[in-house]
Amino acid sequence: MNAIASISTPALAVDIEGINLSYGANHVLKDVNLTIRPGEFFAFLGPSGCGKTTLLRLVAGFNQSDTGRIMIGGKDISNLPPWKRDVGMVFQSYALWPHMTVRRNVAFGLEERGVARAEIERRVDIALDLVGLGHLGERRPSQLSGGQQQRVAVARTVAVEPKVLLLDEPLSNLDAKMRVQVRRELRDLQRRLGLTTIFVTHDQEEANTICDRIAVMNDGVIQQIGTPMELYERPANLFVANFLGTANILAGGIVDSGTGRHFVIDGGIRVPIASDATVPKGAKLVFRPQHAGLTGPESPSGNALALPCVIAHREFLGASIRYGVRIGATEVAVDVPFQSGEELLEIGKAATLTLPQRLLLWLAA
């Protein structure tokens, strides 16, 4: 039997149903419902304090909810203590024992469970090999890099053969370069093990690059669940649009005249609304910087919307130029691919912002 087959268990779904949780008057989780599919790498993503760690700890059994239940593989585990849930959690701090060798750190959880010595040695070997640390078993945590310590924390968790892996901001103690490397390793390990995994992060890039699907949270409420691309291309509301990537947001009001609906933005500029567009009540006009174009002040031909604007800033980003553009009193960002030798638009000059109708988003809060 190969190393992976001997340490992985069949992947199970996690169902989170009707969860409400309060700390005193602070209603931290508000009617949370979601299903994590077997073998999925799933993220809880949201700003600090939105409740994602509280939700993860609820799955682990460290918190109790006021209502609802948690199911793993179709079995209600809400009333089981953490050690009977078959979940493994990697903490932000790693929580390694400083006085123990790497091997002892990985073995510790197995010893606590009364696993036989020969089986412990076998599983420690497999877990350390999985994270590429087989040769460093006799070192102590202080003799390892941050990335290596993180891998020991993962090996220790995987060694107890959990049915679900929980990762609480496991990359936040690493520098930017290490983070990119370790997140790839984590993704690769998760794929090889096929283990249902929940990953908590406030970093959208981290969630986008390694997770199959993401639940975006704000203020204890799930805003939207989807793949990274779905969330980026079809955000459900202004919060999601703003949290994943850069979003330009223009406020205004709808007027319905004989010539169809228009969205009147700052300065009285009228943006025609496509006849088939769904515009929720209180919606704002949203578009991504790379979906807009810029030309000189004369209106361009074609079927893009053309709005008069003024160039306010210009930043060279390498592959593109980011222009800060004023439309009425609002400034928006427009990314134009950089072509060597091409003339740039001058700051302070009038220009025309072009927007393809099909890429406009009409989103409410």
Residues near ligand ATP, by CB under 6 A = 23, 26, 28, 46, 48-54, 202
* Whole-angstrom distance, CA of residue 91 vs CA of residue 211: 18
Cβ at position 235, least distance to ligand ATP in Å? 20
Residue 48 or 340: the one with the smaller Cβ distance to ligand ATP is 48
CB closest to ligand ATP, residue no: 53
Helix (H, G, I), strand (E, B) or coil at 247: coil
CA dihedral 154, 133, 190, 213 (to 10 degrees): 60
- Stretch (H or E) spanning 337: strand 330-337
Query: How, if at all, do strands 320-327 and 305-316 pair?
Result: antiparallel
Cβ at position 352, least distance to ligand ATP in Å? 42
Q: Which residue has the tokens 């993704």?
A: 187
Query: At residue 348, what is the residue type?
Result: G
Beta bridge partners of 255: 262
Residue 26 or 209: the one with the smaller Cβ distance to ligand ATP is 26
Cβ at position 52, least distance to ligand ATP in Å? 4
Closest CA to 73 of 57, 54, 59: 59
Residue 56 or 355: the one with the smaller Cβ distance to ligand ATP is 56
Cβ at position 29, least distance to ligand ATP in Å? 8
Cβ at position 53, least distance to ligand ATP in Å? 3
Q: Write out 260-317 in H/E/C secondary structure.
A: EEEEEEHHHEEEECCCCCCCCCCCEEEECHHHCEEECCCCCCCCCEEEEEEEEEEEEC
Residue 49 or 73: the one with the smaller Cβ distance to ligand ATP is 49
Residue 202 or 326: the one with the smaller Cβ distance to ligand ATP is 202
Cβ at position 166, least distance to ligand ATP in Å? 13
- Give the helix ranges, DSSP H, for 82-203: 102-112, 117-130, 146-159, 176-193
Residue 55 or 153: the one with the smaller Cβ distance to ligand ATP is 55
CA dihedral 57, 62, 68, 73 (to 10 degrees): 70
Residue 48 or 303: the one with the smaller Cβ distance to ligand ATP is 48
Q: Are 65 and 51 in contact (CB under 8 A)?
A: no
Backbone angles phi, psi at 26, to 5 degrees: -90, 105
Cβ at position 92, least distance to ligand ATP in Å? 8
Residue 23 or 98: the one with the smaller Cβ distance to ligand ATP is 23
Cβ at position 123, least distance to ligand ATP in Å? 31
